[in-house]
Chains A and B, each alone.
Chain A
Amino acid sequence: MIRLEDVSFRYRAASERALSEVSFHIRPGELIGLLGRSGSGRSTLASTLNGTIPHLARGDLQGRVSIAGRDIRGQRPRDLADTIGFLLQDFEAQLFSTNVALEVAFGPENLGVPRREIHRRVDRYLQTVRLEALRHKAPAGLSGGQKQRLALASVMALEPQVLVLDEPTSDLDPAGRRDLLEAIRGLRRERALTLVIIDPETDEMGWVDRLIVLDRGRMALNGTPAELWAETARLDALGVKAFTLARMASALGLREQWQDPGQAARAIRAAGWRVDDGAANSLRRADAEQSEGEVLLEVEDIHHRYPDGTDALSGVSCAIRRGEFVAILGQNGSGKTTLVKHLNGILEPTSGEIRLLGQSLRGQPPSRLSRRVGLVFQNPDHQIFAERVREEVAFGPRLQGLSESEITARVEEALEAVGLADAGDLDPFVLTKGSRQQVAVASTLATKPEVLILDEPTTGLDHRELQGMMALIRRLNRAGHTILIITHAMAVAAESARRVILMRDGRIVRDGPTREIFADEAALLTMGLTLPPVVQVANRLGIPALTLEELVGCLTRTPERLNGRTDERRSQSP
């Protein structure tokens, strides 16, 4: 179906090749997962498959790419549109129609599909992505997750033989993610569909036929998920997340492959691992001993109605204490971002009160509040404007009217904190997405706010960048910063936040210690939130663990099973 022979590509003005002598063959109906850190060539490779490269991106393509026997050199993407559907990573830019139905109809219209057939496809694929109720809505008014599903439906409506999806679930909440993958599986049950999917979440890739891992433009690994299961060390070295359950198995010294958390829990018990009640209790105690600081932010029964009449918040109350690390979770459109925009004065509540150290925020402009409540927006490219990283970070302190020496000191300190001490003189736009995100955090840090709020700080980052970003945020929290993050990545919340606020339909439905809330898996599922594999296994074993280290620390092997050895052997941390 797809054949690559010695394919290399160098973008014009780039010194190094983005792809380097890549060769492989994808059979009809095969399902391929493409992994690799950012900059490894994943998106470039995907772009060659429908001829976007070389036809719409300048550079030097060598080797041969053929789709269904046709060389892409002779075919523009539009000529291949009925053969290969391509969902770009930046889904916002792909939507331009007046309403949802017309968006889906656009592709088939271009192919000259008869009107009745277009109507059938619009109905069919809107149903597949569960947007049929919104068919008359304007795409611009949809939530991020809905837009992503719409972009997918509009590609599916071309009914191609091959679908290439570049990070199709990056902005989806866990339920939306599950729905979307289920929709794709459903499609594959109906007809032969070759699928190439890029997704940094290895744990979601267990169902593909074959995984291809790229590294610096070269193919580093190529095998079935089962073959790559135990390759945790090699995947780590390539900057790609290894299967969580595989890491768990190897930490417990087990050489098995587990399909799901239920099987993992049963296998762990069967191998003789038992819960160490002492260790489990000490985890619970450690939480209770967290010293609570004074109340910094107090939100009292706030409501927010947008000018078009939608109620984004309907009675939200909560208090944030000094030194806390809070994660706000909830489905797309549940009001998370609207809530945090109230905390630094960007939005004013329609009714209700917000107080910072007892003082009402009403009437205080964000330009002044920003020194005390720092808000880092989701996309760093919405704020980076300077030609030097140093200048970018100095922007906030300079607006505060600080002296030049104080500004320099703060910039250096902030860059040091985010790990960009050497990048001060670089142009922010040559940095990777992960580093640009770090620049955005640094530029807020430099204003020394009392509370640091981050909206989806890990979206679009690869595994290693994500780990780096979260380590940074935890470090800041340990250094005394009060942290509030909005996230869809449940593992991020589990590993970092000590408290979780769950939002739904503009209300807070749960608010408490992460350990307590994540123990109630059924309640979270009804809200469309799926726990990370580690917590799912821990829950099945009755352990209050949130990380792999905690889980392993709470397990002990029964002595009699260890070939007659009588001393109790505690497991070591991985």
Chain B
Amino acid sequence: MNLFLYLDRESPLHRLDPRTKLFLLLGSFVAAVLFFRPAPLLALMGVLLLYGAMGRALGNLRRIWFLLLSIATISVLTWSLFTRGVTPLVWRVTWEGLAYGIGAAVKIDSMIISGLIFLSTTKTEEIVLGLIRLRVPYQAAFAFSLAIRMVPTIIGTAVTVTEAQRSRGLDLESGGPLTRLRNHIPLLVPIFLHTLRNTDQLAKALESRGFGAHRERSYYLEIGFHAADVLALTLGALVLSIFIAIRFTG
């Protein structure tokens, strides 16, 4: 089972320079925080889905649909209950509150989807290389990429530990909240210890393979700006300016 998000595919997005994709990611975040109304945010999500489809990355949505749905539900419920408005809908919920809730949901989900597209089409090594070209020190860029890699490793450990403890009769589904919480201790201890030991081994393995040995490090991958990057950045800038124009004109 592969828990990593990167999809090894051929697509125009995969071929873009990681820096281009990083800029587009930041641009989408800027566009998302500009608005509170659902309409432009839904338009942004549409643009992002189109972008993701070009990168053949939308298959990964299946893996996080539950997260996206939970965020959307919680945000619509809480914001529509607690935001004051003037047009009543039902009970204490107003049209304005509901719209704000939907807006917030679409905003957060758009940002997550944008991040997902980035990670699905960019190898962590490319991210590191991109960051270095942007003058981030190698050690810092590598630490960032390791952090990204740690998440799936820990999930993998968690899956195995859960299977092992369920095989011993652990029931995670029944009981009150306190019982359920207590039932997780047999999972947390092995996961924590295993991760700690892994980290220690990783440090030794990195050193053994010369990590940090030379100031001048070479790279297996090559990155560089091409015509497609110029095109992508121009389009991105254009779309972002349209969103900014919408925000400040009406």
Contacts and interface: CB of A to CB of B under 8 A. Distances in A.
Contacts of A97: 124-125
A203 to B, nearest CB: 28
Contact of A110 (B124, B170, B214): B214
A510 B186 CA distance: 39
A377 B149 CA distance: 25
Contacts of B194: 381-382
A443 B218 contact: no
Nearest to B127: A98
Given A96-B146, A109-B219, A385 B169 contact: no
Interface in A338-383: 341, 344, 346, 365-368, 370-371, 374-375, 377, 379, 381-383
A78 B125 contact: no
Contacts of A344: 167
A384 B165 CA distance: 9
Contact of A115 (B163, B205, B216, B220): B220
Contact of B210 (A55, A78, A98, A371): A78
Contacts of B153: 140
B169 A400 contact: yes
A140 B3 contact: yes
B207 to A, nearest CB: 4
B169 A367 contact: yes
A60 interface: no
Given A82-B210, A88-B205, A109-B219, A140 B152 contact: yes
Contact of A383 (B146, B161, B216, B219): B161
B217 interface: yes
B169 A118 contact: no
Contacts of A158: 209-210
Interface in B103-146: 123-125, 146
A384 B171 CA distance: 17
Contacts of B8: 99, 136-138
Given A141-B1, A308-B2, A383 B164 contact: yes
B202 A94 contact: yes
Interface in A27-56: 47, 50, 52, 55-56
Contacts of A111: 210, 213-214, 218
Interface in B202-231: 202-205, 207-214, 216-222
Contact of B166 (A50, A98, A346): A346
A55 B212 CA distance: 14
B145 to A, nearest CB: 9
B209 A110 contact: yes
B190 A384 contact: yes
A98 B168 contact: no
B249 to A, nearest CB: 43
A85 B220 contact: no
Interface in A109-134: 109-115, 118-119, 122
Among A101, A110, A306, the one with the most B-chain Cβ atoms within 10 Å of its Cβ is A110
A307 to B, nearest CB: 8
B189 A385 contact: yes
Among A52, A383, A400, A443, the one with the most B-chain Cβ atoms within 10 Å of its Cβ is A383
A444 interface: yes
B207 A77 contact: yes
B185 interface: yes
B123 to A, nearest CB: 4
B198 interface: yes
Contacts of A429: 193
B208 to A, nearest CB: 4
Nearest to B216: A112
Given A88-B205, A102-B125, A399-B171, A381 B190 contact: yes
A86 interface: yes
A141 B2 contact: yes
B205 A93 contact: yes
A332 interface: no
B65 interface: no
A105 interface: yes
Contacts of A102: 123, 125, 220-221
Contacts of B207: 52, 55-56, 76-78, 81
Contacts of B216: 112
A108 B218 contact: yes
Contacts of A85: 208
A370 B170 CA distance: 9
Nearest to B199: A93
A304 B198 CA distance: 30
Contacts of A118: 218, 220
B82 interface: no
A68 to B, nearest CB: 16
Given A115-B218, A138-B6, A443-B168, A382 B210 contact: no
Given A76-B207, A111-B210, A384-B190, 15 more contacts: A90-B197, A94-B205, A102-B125, A102-B220, A109-B217, A110-B210, A112-B214, A118-B218, A136-B8, A154-B209, A158-B209, A308-B1, A370-B166, A370-B169, A383-B164
Q: Which 3 residue pairs spanning A and B have beta carbons closest together? A: A81-B210, A93-B201, A105-B220
9 contacts: A78-B207, A96-B149, A102-B220, A106-B209, A111-B210, A370-B168, A385-B189, A395-B168, A395-B186
